[in-house]
Amino acid sequence: MKDLNIGMIGYGFMGRAHTNAYKRVNDFFDLEYRPVLKAACARNAGPAQEFADNWGYESIETDWRQLLQRDDIDAVDICVPNNLHKEISIAAAEAGKMILCEKPISMNTAEGEEMCEAVERAGVPNMVWYNYRRIPAVTHARNIIASGKLGRIFHYRANFLQDWTIAEDLPQGGNGLWRLDVDAAGSGVTGDLLAHCIDTAIWLNGAISNVTAMTETFVKERVHSDTGNVQPVGIDDACAFLCHFDNGSLGLFESTRYARGHKALYTFEINGENGSLKWDLHDLNRLEYFDYEDDSPVRGWRSIHISDGDHPYLGNWWVPGLCLGYEHSFVHQVADFLLGLANGKPAGPTFRDALETQKVCDAVLESAKSKAWVDV
Amino acid sequence: MKDLNIGMIGYGFMGRAHTNAYKRVNDFFDLEYRPVLKAACARNAGPAQEFADNWGYESIETDWRQLLQRDDIDAVDICVPNNLHKEISIAAAEAGKMILCEKPISMNTAEGEEMCEAVERAGVPNMVWYNYRRIPAVTHARNIIASGKLGRIFHYRANFLQDWTIAEDLPQGGNGLWRLDVDAAGSGVTGDLLAHCIDTAIWLNGAISNVTAMTETFVKERVHSDTGNVQPVGIDDACAFLCHFDNGSLGLFESTRYARGHKALYTFEINGENGSLKWDLHDLNRLEYFDYEDDSPVRGWRSIHISDGDHPYLGNWWVPGLCLGYEHSFVHQVADFLLGLANGKPAGPTFRDALETQKVCDAVLESAKSKAWVDV
Amino acid sequence: MKDLNIGMIGYGFMGRAHTNAYKRVNDFFDLEYRPVLKAACARNAGPAQEFADNWGYESIETDWRQLLQRDDIDAVDICVPNNLHKEISIAAAEAGKMILCEKPISMNTAEGEEMCEAVERAGVPNMVWYNYRRIPAVTHARNIIASGKLGRIFHYRANFLQDWTIAEDLPQGGNGLWRLDVDAAGSGVTGDLLAHCIDTAIWLNGAISNVTAMTETFVKERVHSDTGNVQPVGIDDACAFLCHFDNGSLGLFESTRYARGHKALYTFEINGENGSLKWDLHDLNRLEYFDYEDDSPVRGWRSIHISDGDHPYLGNWWVPGLCLGYEHSFVHQVADFLLGLANGKPAGPTFRDALETQKVCDAVLESAKSKAWVDV
Amino acid sequence: MKDLNIGMIGYGFMGRAHTNAYKRVNDFFDLEYRPVLKAACARNAGPAQEFADNWGYESIETDWRQLLQRDDIDAVDICVPNNLHKEISIAAAEAGKMILCEKPISMNTAEGEEMCEAVERAGVPNMVWYNYRRIPAVTHARNIIASGKLGRIFHYRANFLQDWTIAEDLPQGGNGLWRLDVDAAGSGVTGDLLAHCIDTAIWLNGAISNVTAMTETFVKERVHSDTGNVQPVGIDDACAFLCHFDNGSLGLFESTRYARGHKALYTFEINGENGSLKWDLHDLNRLEYFDYEDDSPVRGWRSIHISDGDHPYLGNWWVPGLCLGYEHSFVHQVADFLLGLANGKPAGPTFRDALETQKVCDAVLESAKSKAWVDV
C-alpha cells in the first residue's frame, strides 16, 4: 500500500469531515493508497495543535505557504473560507501538490478559471468536495439515469432548505460564521447550498443553458461576531431560479435559510418519459423510484432502502437494512479519489467540473440583479 | 330499474352510513336495482321522524315487528346494538325480508348459528356490513393475493388501534355509548374492532385454526351515562392474540382503545414468499406492495395510490389522483349487494361468512379467559 | 327549508362533481336552503337527457339562453369550456340568476373584468369553483395562518404535477379533451392547474406582486380527436414561475402534465418565522405542521390527520380517523354558498376574487412570452 | 489519556462493527480512556492476521486462552458464536479481564447466571452489546419515557422483521451461517432478533412478567454449508409472543426471517396515557412522538429528525439535519463504557441486565413448546 501524505488547511466542520474520511477509508475499502495525516495547518498554533492532537495529525503548520514547501506532503486539502481557495490552490498547483478543495471552487467564475488553468498546467490531480454525489442513493440515481431507464427527461427540481438564520440577533462573520460574511463566502445560500444542488443536477441531467433568478435578504443588518458592530448583510438569505437544461428539460431550484422546520433538507426529483426519481438528505438511505413499465394496477413509487450489497458502495459496509449516514459520502469520495490515482481515471468533480457549477451560480446571481434571463 | 324498498332499523352512526350509501349508489353505479328509503324505524317516534326527515325516508315505524309486517318493505337493515341482532334477524327472515345486518353478526357463535339457519331456511338474501372489504385498496389487495402473486404465505398481522376511551370519567352505556356496555355489545374491542380485522384476514388469507389471546380492562369502573351509577366495566378495552391459519401462516392481531395517538388505525400486512402487502385505514387510498420479482437494485415497497380507473370500483368515480373516503366502502357494498340480487351470486360476507369471524372472536375471548390455546 | 333551483349547464366531469354536491349537502349540513336539480342543459338532447336521468334533474334544455329565461331557475352552474364562461355569465347576470361558475373564471383578465362588472351590476350572488379551499386540511391551514401562529411569512411554494399527456399519440380537442385545445381552454396547465395553486396561495398568503415565468410545450403537434387532423399544440404543457407576494415573501410555483408518477399531486408549503405548513392532494386528509414553539428536543413536523370533530367541516361527517375524499370539497363549497345566501355574507371566491387569480395567470403567460418580470 | 488494551475474539460482522467503534470513539468523544487494538484472536492464523492487518490490531492469537494470559490485554471482546460465550467469559473473568460480550449473553439462563456470578465474583467491568439502546432516537425515547411525559403505560409492541432466509436452498451452519445452526446459536430469531427487542423493551418499559408464545420453522431441512449434508433445521424461523409487563401494560412481540420486503425492520411503539413514541431501524434518525397535550386541532404525530445538538450523542457529531447510521450505536456504546470506567458508574446493559433478557427468551421458547403461559 502506498502512503498519500495529507496536509489539511483549516480545522472547521469540513476539516473534521474530511479527516474522518481519510482515517476510515482503508478499513472499508481495498485500495492501493492510504491517506496519512501528515500535517494540519491553521493560522494560529493553538487551534492547529488541538485539532492535530484530536485527530492524529503528525505535525502542524501555521502558514500554508510553509506547508506547500514540505516534501513530505503529497496532497493538500483546502477547508478554509472561499475567498482563500484561489490563492492557495494556485500556489499548491505550482508546488506540485494534489489538491482536494472544499466547494464552491471559488468566489466566482473568473477565479475558478484561473484555478483550473493552474492545476491543468501543473498536471496535478484535483477534486472539489461536492460530497453529495457519493451518498449511495444519489450515485444509484445517477446509475439509473445513465442506464436510460427514465427516457427523455422533462423536469428536474431541487431545493436545499434550512432554517438556522431566522433569528435577527444571530451575528455574522468571524470564525464560525464566515458563511454569513459576503467577503469571505462570496454569496449566501447560492454558493453554500444551491451549489450542491447544481453540481448534482449537472451530474444527473447535464448542463444548464440559462436561468432567471431572484434572491432575497430577509434580515438587512446584523452584528459582526468579532467587532460587535452592526453591519449590512451582504449575502443572499434565499435564492430561487428557473432554468432550461441543454437536454430540453425544465429546472426549478430553491434554497433558503428561512424555511422553518427544515434543518438541511436537500431534495431533488427528476421526471422522465418512463420513470422518475426522488431523494432527500433527511432520509438519505432511501431512493424513491417510479417505473412506468410496472403493470398499471400495481404501479407506484418504490421506496428503495439503499442498504443492499448491490447498491453503490454498500458492499463495503454492513448488511442489508442497516443505514449509513452523512459522513460516509466523504469516505466514498476519498475512496474514489484514491482509486482514480491508482487507475489513472480521475474521480470527479475535478476543478474543471466544479467550474461549471460556478458558472451557473454566477449566472443566477447576475439574473437576480438584472432581473433578466441570463445565459450560462 | 327495479326498486328495492329499504326499512332501516336504528338511526345511529351506522344508520347514517348505510343510508348515505343507499342514496348515492345509483348516481355512480349502473345497476338493475335502486334502493328506496321506505321506512325508518326506532323505538321513539321523535328521533325516528327526525332521522327520516333528514335523510328522506318516506315513513317511520316505532316497532320493528310492525315494520316486518309491511308489504312495501323488501329488505331490512339492522343498525341496532348487537344484543338485538338475533331476534330481529330471525323474525325478518321468517317474514321473508332480505337482511343487511350490521357487524358483528351476533353476541356469540350460538346466536349466529341460529341466525344463519333462519336466513338459509327462509332463503332470503343476507349480508353483514363488514364494509372494509370494499375499501378499493383492500379489494385490490385481495385480487393480488388471489392471483397467486405473493406465493406461499408466511405471516399475517393486523391491528385496530384507537384512543377514545382513555379518560376515566368517560361514562358507559346508554344511547351513544352502548359499545362500552357488555350487555348490549357482547364484548369490547373484540367484537367492535378485531372483528373487522378478522373478517378481512379470513377473506384475504383463509380460515384461522387456533388462537392464544389476552384481554385487558384498564379502567375497571365507569359511571353509567343514563343512571349516573358507578358500575364495573364488563368489556375488554384491549385484546391481542396469536394464531395459526389453515394455510400454515402465522397471525398476530391486536386491538385497543388505549393507544394514544391513533384514532381508527386499522392496519394489516401480509408476507408471502414472493411479495407482501400493507394497508392502513388512516391513509386508505394507498396500498403498499413489495414485489420480489423487481430487479434487485431497484426493489422497494411501492406506494400505490388507489385512484386509477383500473383499480377496484374507481372507474365509477372521478379521475386518477383524486381520493375516495371512508363512506365509499358502504356505497360499494350496496352496489355489490344489488349486483348479487341481479346476477344471483350473493355478495359476501353473508351471515354464514360472518359466522366464521364470530367463531374466532369467541375462541379469542375463551382463550383470554382460560389462558390456553383454543381451537376455532 | 327554501328550495334553490339549479340549472346545470354542461355534463362533464365537473357537472358530475357539482351535482353530487347539490344532492348530498342537506344530508350532512343543517341549512336554510336546499338545492333542487331543476334542469340540465347541453347542446344535444341525448347526452342532456342521459345526464338528467342519471342524476335526477327534472328537465332538460338544449339552449342555455332558453334556460336563462325560465322563471323556475334560481341559479345556473356553468360547467362548460372556458371560452363560453363570459357570454353565459353576462347573460345569466342580466337575467338575474345567481351564478356558480367553474374555474378559471375566464379566458383572460379582460373577459373576467366584464364578468365581474355584470354580476356586480346585476347584484346576483356569484362564486367560482376553486374547490380546493374547502378541503378541510386546506381550510384548517388557512385558519392557522389567519391566527398569526406562523408569524412573518418568508416562503410559499406550490406545484400541481400530473403525467397524463406524455404519450405523443394522445389526441387533443373535442368533447373530453377540450382542456388540450387552446381555443377552448385559453391556456394549458396555467389555467387548469396553476390557477388552483394561485387561488389557494392568494387565499392563504395574500396578493402576488410580480412574476417571472417559463412555459414549455413538449409535444408540438397532436391529432385532433374529432377531425383526425394533425395540428400544432397551442397550450402550455408545463409552466413554472417565481414571484413576490405583497407581504414580502417569495413564491415558487410549478405545474406540468409531464411529471411521470404523479396523477394529481397538488402540494403547497408555507414557511413562517414561527411555523410552517405543508399539504398534498394525494393524501388530502393530512396536514403537516411545524411549530417552532415546541420544546426543542421534541420538535418535529406534526402529521395531523384531519378527521376530528374540531377540524373544519368534520363535525358534519363521521368519527375521528375516518377519511373524507375529493368530492367533499364541493359539498363544503355548496354548503358555504347556501350559508352565504342565508346570512348575507357571500362565500368566496366570488367572481371578483377569482379575477385576482386570472390576473396572475395572465402575468405568468405574458412573462413566459416576454422573458421578463411582469407586474400583476 | 489512559490506554485500554483490547483483545478481540472473533472477526465476523460484529468483530468489524466493534473494532470500528474502538477506532472512532476518541475522534468524537472527549474521554479519559482510549481503546488500543492490541490483539485479534481467531482459531486460524490466516483470517486472524488478515483481520488484524485490515483493522490495525498489533498482534494476533489463535487460542483465546493464550489471549487471556497476556498481561497487555485489559479487556476482551467476545464476538464468537453464542455457544462459546460462557466458557470464554468465565475464564476471562477469572483472568481479571474486563469483558464486552456480544449478545445474547448465553445459550440459556442457566449459562448466563454462571457468567454473571463469575464477573461479579471477579469484580470486572462487563457489558453486553445490545447496541440499539445507543441509537440516538432510542436513547431519546428512553429519556422522554423516564421524564414521565407519557404517563401510565398501556401498550408496548415491537417486531424485528427480515426476509433473508426464505430461499429453501440457503445452507445452514458453518462459518458465516452459524446463526442458522441451533447448536451454535441456541435458538433462531428469538436469540438473534427478539433479544434486541426485549432488551430495549425492558430498558424502556420495565420487566416482563409472563408470556405466551408461538414459534415456527418454515423450512424443515437445509444443507449444511460445510458438509453438504441435509439436516433438520433446529432453529425457530419466526417467533411471536404476547406478554404482560410488571407495570400492567400489555406487550406484543414478533420476529421472523420470512417477512418479504423487510431487511432489518426493527420497530417499537409505546402508548401511554399522555403520549406515544414510535421508532424503526430502517429510518433510524427519526423518532415519532405524539403528545396529547398539544392543542387538539393541531395535534399529530411529530416526526423528530434526531440530528440536533440537543439530541443524545448528537452534539459530538455534525450539524442539524445530517444523519448518523447504524455503526454509530457501537461508537456510543464504547463511549459510555469508557465513561463508566472513568466515573465508576458502569454502563448498561451489564451481564446482569442482559440476563433479564435471556430469561424472557427462555420463557418464550418454553411457552412455544408447552403451549401455555409461562412466568418469566
pLDDT in tens, C1-51: 899 999 999 999 999 999 999 999 999 999 999 999 999 999 999 999 999
In the predicted model, what is the mean pLDDT of residues C288-303? Answer: 97
Residue B289 to residue A300, Cβ atoms within 8 A: yes
In the predicted model, is pLDDT for residue A175 greater than 90?
A: no
Contacts of A298 in chain B (CB under 8 A): 144, 289, 291, 302, 304
In the predicted model, what is the mean pLDDT of residues A289-305? Answer: 97
Of the pLDDT bands very low, low, confident and very high (cuts 50, 70, 90), residue D116 is very high
Residue A322 to residue D325, Cβ atoms within 8 A: yes
| Chain C contact present for B166, CB below 8 A | no
Q: What pLDDT score does B1 carry?
A: 87
In the predicted model, what is the mean pLDDT of residues C133-151? Answer: 98
In the predicted model, what is the mean pLDDT of residues C179-204? Answer: 96
How far is residue B32 CA from its own chain's centroid?
25
User: Please, are residues A68 and A95 in contact by the beta-carbon 8 Å criterion?
Assistant: yes
In the predicted model, what is the mean pLDDT of residues C222-232? Answer: 92
pLDDT digits (tens, 9 = 90+) for B241-272: 999 999 999 999 999 999 999 999 999 999 99
- Cell triple for D179: 446463526
User: Please, are residues A319 and D264 in contact by the beta-carbon 8 Å criterion?
Assistant: yes
In the predicted model, what is the mean pLDDT of residues A128-151? Answer: 98
Residue of C67, C25, C62, C79 whose CA lies nearest to C347: C25
How far apart are alpha carbons B279 and B329 in whole angstroms? 15
Q: What pLDDT score does D22 carry?
A: 98
Query: Which one of B296, B300, B302 has the shortest CB-CB distance to A298?
Result: B302
How far apart are alpha carbons B128 and B185 in whole angstroms? 16
Of the pLDDT bands very low, low, confident and very high (cuts 50, 70, 90), residue B361 is very high
Task: Give chain A's length.
Answer: 376
Residue D328 to residue A328, Cβ atoms within 8 A: no
In the predicted model, is pLDDT for residue A348 greater than 90?
A: yes
Bridge partner residues of C161 (DSSP): C256, C265
- Mean residue pLDDT of chain B comes to 97
In the predicted model, what is the mean pLDDT of residues C80-105? Answer: 98
In the predicted model, what is the mean pLDDT of residues B219-235? Answer: 93
In the predicted model, is pLDDT for residue C176 greater than 90?
A: no
Residue B282 to residue C308, Cβ atoms within 8 A: no
Of the pLDDT bands very low, low, confident and very high (cuts 50, 70, 90), residue C344 is very high
Q: What pLDDT score does A138 carry?
A: 98
- Burial-class residue D44 by CB neighbours within 10 Å (0-12, 13-18, 19+): exposed
- Cell triple for A332: 466514498
- Mean residue pLDDT of chain C comes to 97
Q: Report the sign of the C-alpha dihedral through residues B181, B183, B185, B190, in that order.
A: positive
At A41 the three-state DSSP class reads: strand
How far apart are alpha carbons D357 and D338 in whole angstroms? 23
pLDDT digits (tens, 9 = 90+) for B316-342: 999 999 999 999 999 999 999 999 999
Residue D301 to residue B252, Cβ atoms within 8 A: no
Residue D289 to residue C303, Cβ atoms within 8 A: no
pLDDT digits (tens, 9 = 90+) for B44-93: 999 999 999 999 999 999 999 999 999 999 999 999 999 999 999 999 99
Place of cell 354464514: B352
Q: What pLDDT score does D173 carry?
A: 87
Place of cell 382513555: B166
One of 3.30.300.130, 3.90.660.20, 3.40.50.2300, 3.30.360.10 is the CATH number of B133-375, namely 3.30.360.10
pLDDT digits (tens, 9 = 90+) for D265-324: 999 999 999 999 999 999 999 999 999 999 999 999 999 999 999 999 999 999 999 999
- Rg over CA atoms, chain C: 21
Residue C27 to residue B318, Cβ atoms within 8 A: no
Q: What is the DSSP string of A263-332?
A: SSEEEEEEEESSEEEEEEGGGTTEEEEEETTS-GGG--EEEEE--STTSTTGGGS--TT----TTHHHHH
How far apart are alpha carbons A28 and A5 in whole angstroms? 19
| Chain B contact present for A305, CB below 8 A | yes
In the predicted model, is pLDDT for residue D112 greater than 80?
A: yes
Return the residue in A153, A154, A156 with the most chain C beta carbons within 10 A, the one to mutate for interface testing. Answer: A154
Bridge partner residues of A211 (DSSP): A243, A374
Q: What pLDDT score does B176 carry?
A: 73
| Chain D contact present for C310, CB below 8 A | yes
How far is residue A61 CA from its own chain's centroid?
26
Assigned CATH for C2-131: 3.40.50.720
In the predicted model, is pLDDT for residue D102 greater than 80?
A: yes
The residue in chain A having the minimum alpha-carbon distance to the alpha carbon of residue D162 is A321
- CATH topology match: B2-131 vs B133-375: no
The residue in chain A having the minimum alpha-carbon distance to the alpha carbon of residue C158 is A252
In the predicted model, what is the mean pLDDT of residues B233-240? Answer: 97
Beta strand extents in chain A (DSSP E only): 2-9, 33-41, 59-61, 75-78, 98-101, 126-128, 153-161, 208-216, 221-223, 230-232, 238-245, 250-256, 265-272, 275-280, 286-291, 301-305, 374-375
Place of cell 417569495: C250
Of the pLDDT bands very low, low, confident and very high (cuts 50, 70, 90), residue A139 is very high
User: Residues of B numbered 323-342 whose beta carbons fall under 8 angstroms of chain C's beta carbons: which are they?
Assistant: 323-328
How far apart are alpha carbons C66 and B265 in whole angstroms? 52
Assigned CATH for A2-130: 3.40.50.720
Q: What pLDDT score does A245 carry?
A: 98
Q: Report the sign of the C-alpha dihedral through residues A31, A315, A311, A262, in that order.
A: negative
In the predicted model, what is the mean pLDDT of residues C305-328? Answer: 97
pLDDT digits (tens, 9 = 90+) for C268-284: 999 999 999 999 999 99
Q: What pLDDT score does C318 carry?
A: 97
Of the pLDDT bands very low, low, confident and very high (cuts 50, 70, 90), residue A184 is very high
Q: What pLDDT score does C1 carry?
A: 87
Provide the residue type at D221 as one letter.
E
Contacts of D106 (CB under 8 A, 6+ apart): D82, D85, D86, D112, D115, D186, D358
Query: Which one of A298, A299, A302 has the shortest CB-CB distance to B298?
Result: A302
Pairing of strands D301-305, D374-375: unpaired
User: Is residue C312 reached through a cis peptide bond, with omega within 30 degrees of 0 on the bond before it?
Assistant: no
Residue C323 to residue B325, Cβ atoms within 8 A: yes
Residue B326 to residue C324, Cβ atoms within 8 A: yes
| Chain A contact present for C241, CB below 8 A | yes
Contacts of C71 (CB under 8 A, 6+ apart): none
| Chain B contact present for D371, CB below 8 A | yes
- Burial-class residue D370 by CB neighbours within 10 Å (0-12, 13-18, 19+): exposed
Closest chain D C-alpha to B321 CA, distance in angstroms: 24
pLDDT digits (tens, 9 = 90+) for D202-235: 999 999 999 999 999 999 999 998 889 999 999 9
Q: What pLDDT score does A176 carry?
A: 73
ipTM of the shown complex: 0.97
Query: Which one of A252, A272, A290 has the shortest CB-CB distance to C240?
Result: A252
Q: What is the DSSP string of B280-302?
A: EGGGTTEEEEEETTS-GGG--EE
- Burial-class residue B146 by CB neighbours within 10 Å (0-12, 13-18, 19+): exposed
Residue C296 to residue D305, Cβ atoms within 8 A: no
pLDDT digits (tens, 9 = 90+) for D230-266: 999 999 999 999 999 999 999 999 999 999 999 999 9
Sequence spans of domains, chain D: 2-131, 132-375
Q: Report the sign of the C-alpha dihedral through residues C310, C311, C312, C315, in that order.
A: negative
Q: What pLDDT score does C174 carry?
A: 80
Helix (H) or strand (E) run with residue B368 in it: helix B351-370
Contacts of B148 in chain A (CB under 8 A): none
One of 3.10.105.10, 3.50.50.60, 3.40.50.970, 3.30.360.10 is the CATH number of D132-375, namely 3.30.360.10
The residue in chain C having the minimum alpha-carbon distance to the alpha carbon of residue D295 is C310
In the predicted model, is pLDDT for residue C336 greater than 80?
A: yes
In the predicted model, is pLDDT for residue C198 greater than 80?
A: yes
| Chain B contact present for C320, CB below 8 A | yes
